[in-house]
Each structure stands twice: as structure tokens, then as C-alpha cells.
Structure 1
């Protein structure tokens, strides 16, 4: 059991302890809590006095948690979230008075779609909220659990019981080429489509995706020339040559037009791409976070329904 008492430690210090245990670094914890490193070091000193334990100790060029710190990690984490839930009040919340920064993680196309629309809403409804958009990582991360990301918009469901998620829409893939592509009619048949040169959008650099699985099941194989880490780069490549890229057609309708691209339905049946909101359970009853989720959900639903 945690031997810390509220006589020795307040909730802010408990939150700092939680972050220090997660990060294992004074510098990283300072970044998470928007503090200077000297201020974080002073906070760690207060925690050491309150607990009678070093919590973090030097090991080579870094720091490691003490056995006691490891033993209380899970309970401290649970206490922080329980306290946030108990002290949180939904009644009489005026979003215009809440000063907070939320970090949204999504691909570049979704950021291009959401950011300007949310920027128009914020001044009137939540003028003191700030939004920070982050790119999707190249590999699976626990940014939601660690508090580095507050809301993720992707095709991936929640990874663990700590996370909550909601599939809010499905978007059909389309084949996009430059409007004056010499073989635009090839998109009308599976064989013609497979015979074109293809670009795949993959932040991990994969040369094979679901479209390839469907084509191979039909006895076809497409020629993937290259991958691009972002939708914007893929569209630039396609706009400048004779390649084709498969992208969600509803959410990306405006971007397709801005790059001068024509789009056609895929000539093979590929499952629609789910659009999933995911967040940590700590945000479940946060009024400002619920406000943000509601607007993101509405914007995406309106766009995909209109497509």
C-alpha cells in the first residue's frame, strides 16, 4: 500500500509523482507538466521528503525508479485518475473559461480537414482552448496512456481496457489519378486498375496493404512503385505523373480537388476504412474533452455522409 498521506502531499504533487514514474526522467516529466527542469527537480525533492524515498536514482547516463517507486506505480496512477474523477464537476461548466491544451493525433489529411474547421469554432465556443496536432507515429505507441496525446483519430481501435474508442464513420477508398491521366478508363476494370503504377500511403513504408490482398484473391497483382509517408506527398506524386493512389474519398474530397485529381470507385470490393476516435478513460467525463470529441465526430460524420 502507498504510505503517502495527504498531510505530506497534495494532488498536484501526486500528479507529478505519477508522471515521474511513467517517464523515469525529470526532463521528460517537466515537458509533460509544462514546467522548467529546475522546477521539476524541486518537485521531485518535495516528493522525496514526503515519501522518504529517492523515487528516481542515477544509473549511468539516465535514471531508474527505486524498488519502492516501482511498488507504488500502479496505485499512484489509479489514485490520480480516481481523484480527477471525484473532483470533476460537469454542472455549470462554462467552456469559455477553460484554459487547456489538447493534443490530437491523426494523419496529415485528417489534420488538414479538421484543423481549419475547429479553428473557426474555437473562438466562439471555447476561446481559451488550444489544439495541437501531432502526426501519427511510425509504429504503435502508448501516447494516449502516457498523456502525450489526448484524442486520436485513426482506423485503429483502442489498445487496452484503459482506453475508450468509438467508431464514428466508415469511408470508402477511391482510386485517384491526375485529371488528364491518359488511362483514366483503366480504373473501370480490376485488370486495368491493377495494371497501373501505384503509390501506397504508409507511415511504416509498407509495400503491401488491404487492396493487394483483395486483388490477389481475384488472381491479380498490382505494381507498387513506391510508398509515401503522408497523403499530401502521395497526392503530389500522383498529380505530377501517371501513378494512382487509393485514399478515403469522403474525408479527402477537398484535397483531391485541390491537387487537380480525378477519383473513381475501386473496381474491386474493398472494405470501407473505419474512422475511430480513441482517448484515455481519464478524459471520459471531462466536459472540454467531450466538447472536442463531439465536434470532431460531427465534422467527420457530415463529410463522410455527404460523400
Structure 2
């Protein structure tokens, strides 16, 4: 391949289609003398005159006529292969399954909007959500998942993350719960009730209880469940209380989700910090056009449903 200059392919395409050195030069945005030199090189490379003078015009040799049927497609294919990947990407032609790891709350509240948006642009795409038992970064490193959605807690300094929206913890109880009798809930009143803790790993620790411990307080935790949706179901059917991210109770697309579920959110009687819900991926996927497109769809859905 050391003898082959692919620039000659595009020049040959211009010469065969324009049948004029001057017009081919204009098309290639080079000087007429440079195009004349290129024609000389093409004649030497192919062993054929290619274009011959016929009065004031140029005509194709029989060999050039045959080439003119093949060269345009070859030139387009070479340009496509050697152009930047993102310029070749067409979501409508994408046939791919993406694996995402996210909590049940994200799937319940944003899954429908995300799949609808993706289906409109790329009907050949399938989204596969996997359980999120922990924050282990190994599946990202091994390529088992394409994108993780949640709080950045992975112990992998190389992972990339971009914020999707801000979230905060709120208290939740059933509608008509005794804790709601007073407009402002005192922490002593809140602590008299039993609580449901959410922990994917089963460990009885989370930011809420860590904040309570700083004040020397603890709450009664007779049950620990692995998901926020399970906690909400238990609370809906009992006098138990729970603490969940505000995003789990609805968004601009589902503003009455909590009420429809028979739940009532309330402001916690102590301060908790806001936190970021992010899209997390491995840097090896930074510039893959399909992966970039997927992340853009997730970000667009989150921006629409959780505007800041």
C-alpha cells in the first residue's frame, strides 16, 4: 500500500465526472496546475491516458469510461471509512442493545420517557436494565454495563460522571398518618414512630442515620428493604415511616405520582445535604458515537423531567 495515495482517488473521481481539469480543480479547491500534475500522476499510476483532448473538450478513454462506473462509489466509501466516527453515526440505522444499571426509582419514573425518546430516533435500540446491588465499578471496567445512573460512589478514579439532576431526601408516610397532625414535625415526634430503611447491601447505614448519629439520635428500624419502591409499599399499608429521594415521588411528567400511590411526603425535621444523581461511564466509551448518543438521550430526558 506504500505506492497508493488515496487522495488520487478523489481527484480521479473529480476528473472523470467533470471531464475538465479546470472544473476538477475548482471542485477540489486546488490550482489548475496542481490538478494537471495530479492527472499526470494518475496516468503514470494507472498506465492509461484517462482523458484525451478532443477539440476544446476532454473525452474519456475506454478504460476511464469503465472506471467512471466504479470510482464515485469507491470515493464515497473511502471518505466515509476515513472520516471521523461521529460523522458516520446514524441513530436511525443503529441496531444495538445498551445495558444500564440504575435503581428502581429511575426505571419507574423515567424509564417510559427514555424508551419513548430513544424509540423515536433509533427503533433498533434495546435498553436492558440490570439490578444495582452495590457501587462496584468492576462491571463498568469490564464492559458489562454501558452506563450507570445514580450517586457516584464507585472506587474507581478513572470513571467519568456527569450530573443529571440534584436530589434531596424527604420523609414519606401514608396519607392520614398521625405524624401529619402538626404542620411542622418535630424530630422527637418523628423518632417515636418505626421506620423502614432502604439498603441495597443490607447494611443498616445510610446518610440519614449518619446525620442523626451526629446528634446522638437513632430511629427504630424493624425492617430493612433493598429498594425505595418496596419501602413505599410498606409505608402505604402501615404506620411505618421511611426516607427516600424526592425524585422517587414524581417529576414534571408525573406530578401526582405520590398522591396516586397513597403517599404523603414531608420535610424532614433535620438538615440533610442535597446530592447529585449522575450518569457514570468508563472512559473507554468517551468517544464512541453510539455511547455518546445514549448519554445525550438520558441527559435530555432528565433535564426535561427534573429541570433545575
Superposition deviation, residue 219 in structure 1: 3.4
> Which residue is 2:118 aligned to?
122
CA distance in 2, matches of 1:129, 1:88: 22
Residues 104 and 153, structure 1, Cα contact 8 Å, conserved in 2? yes
SS at 2:212 equivalent: helix
The alpha-carbon distance between structure 1 residues 266 and 232, as it changes in their structure 2 partners (threshold 3 A), is same
> Which residue is 1:151 aligned to?
147
Q: How does 1:276-295 map to 2 (within 5 A)?
A: 276-295=278-297
TM-score by length of 2: 0.66
**Which whole-Å deviations, capped at 9, do the CAs of 1:27-54 have from their partners, x for residues lacking one?**
xxxxxxxxxxxxxxxxxxxxxxxxxxxx
- Is residue 263 of structure 1 aligned with residue 265 of structure 2? yes
SS at 2:280 equivalent: strand
Superposition deviation, residue 269 in structure 1: 0.6
Residues 171 and 304, structure 1, Cα contact 8 Å, conserved in 2? no
* Aligned partner (choices 226, 229, 233) of residue 230 of structure 2: 233
Superposition deviation, residue 216 in structure 1: 2.4
Residues 179 and 190, structure 2, Cα contact 8 Å, conserved in 1? no
> Which residue is 1:57 aligned to?
none
SS at 2:287 equivalent: coil
CA distance in 2, matches of 1:208, 1:162: 27
The alpha-carbon distance between structure 1 residues 279 and 141, as it changes in their structure 2 partners (threshold 3 A), is closer
Question: What is the RMSD computed on CA atoms of the aligned residues?
Answer: 2.2
SS at 1:183 equivalent: helix
- Is residue 132 of structure 1 aligned with residue 128 of structure 2? yes
Which runs of 5 or more residues in structure 1 are unaligned? 1-85
> Which residue is 1:100 aligned to?
96
TM-score by length of 1: 0.66
> Which residue is 1:170 aligned to?
166
> Which residue is 1:17 aligned to?
none
Number of aligned positions between the proteins: 221
Superposition deviation, residue 290 in structure 1: 1.6
Which runs of 5 or more residues in structure 2 are unaligned? 1-81
Greater shift, 213-222 or 140-149, is seen at 213-222
SS at 1:188 equivalent: coil
The alpha-carbon distance between structure 1 residues 291 and 202, as it changes in their structure 2 partners (threshold 3 A), is same
- Is residue 243 of structure 1 aligned with residue 240 of structure 2? yes
**Which whole-Å deviations, capped at 9, do the CAs of 1:192-234 have from their partners, x for residues lacking one?**
2222211111111122321112222233221112111111111
Greater shift, 105-114 or 154-163, is seen at 154-163
Q: How does 1:33-112 map to 2 (within 5 A)?
A: 89-112=85-108
